Amino acid sequence: MIDLRFPTALQMVLSVANAEQNGTRATSAVLATGLQANPSFVRKLMVPLTRGGIIISTHGRQGSIHLGRPADRITLQDIYLSVTEDKPLWGKRPEASQCCLVTANTGWFFDSLAGEAEQACLEVLARRTVADALRELQEKDRRPSSPDAGAASIPVNLPPAD
């Protein structure tokens, strides 16, 4: 099963950053609408983001969600690590009886390969901030699309708050 926590959390954080930049209010209901997800799922994913200081949520009728620190000080690695916690990028197969060269050595080989891949992934995510990502989305949205491409844009705008 594919783990969708990181891309979902990234979209949530980018939506909050975009709302702050536009002076609009972000709520779990607004985020859920943008994600086409249940508000309770959004609130559940907000827990590790709040614990990691990435977002701050205020409760009540006028409650809203804000970034926990400036967008240029939140890396994509911060978001990834907060929502995936200790779950590895790839899971390994259960140990098999060591009946040949391959089954005797695949476990340590895969662990090494997965560790290297995860480190490379974390390094890429550490080099990019929420501010960088939002700027990239805004630039992409402003580029004229080719005539046969239609009006493709990246939906990061939040609807007005109630």
**Strand 65-67 versus strand 55-57 pairing type:** antiparallel
pTM: 0.78
Q: Given CA atoms 30, 35, 41, 46 in this order, what sign does their dihedral have?
A: negative
At which residue do the structure tokens 């980018």 appear? 14
Domain hosting 75: range is 5-135
| Domain CATH code at residue 21 | 1.10.10.10
Q: Give residue 6's Cα distance to chain centre.
A: 4
Residue 31 lies in a domain: yes
CB of 129 closer than 8 Å to CB of 71: yes
Residue 130, classed as helix, strand or coil, is helix
In a domain, 150, yes or no: no
pLDDT tens digit at each of 162 positions of the chain? 577 889 999 999 999 999 999 999 998 888 999 999 888 888 889 999 999 999 999 887 788 999 999 999 999 999 999 998 877 777 767 777 778 888 777 888 888 888 899 999 999 999 999 999 999 999 998 877 655 444 444 444 444 444
On whether residue 24 sits in a domain, the answer given is yes
What are the backbone dihedrals phi and psi of residue 64, each rounded to the nearest 5 degrees, phi first? -160, 175
Q: How far apart are CA 11 and CA 54, in angstroms?
A: 13
Phi and psi of 92, rounded to 5°?
-100, 160
Domain total of the chain: 1
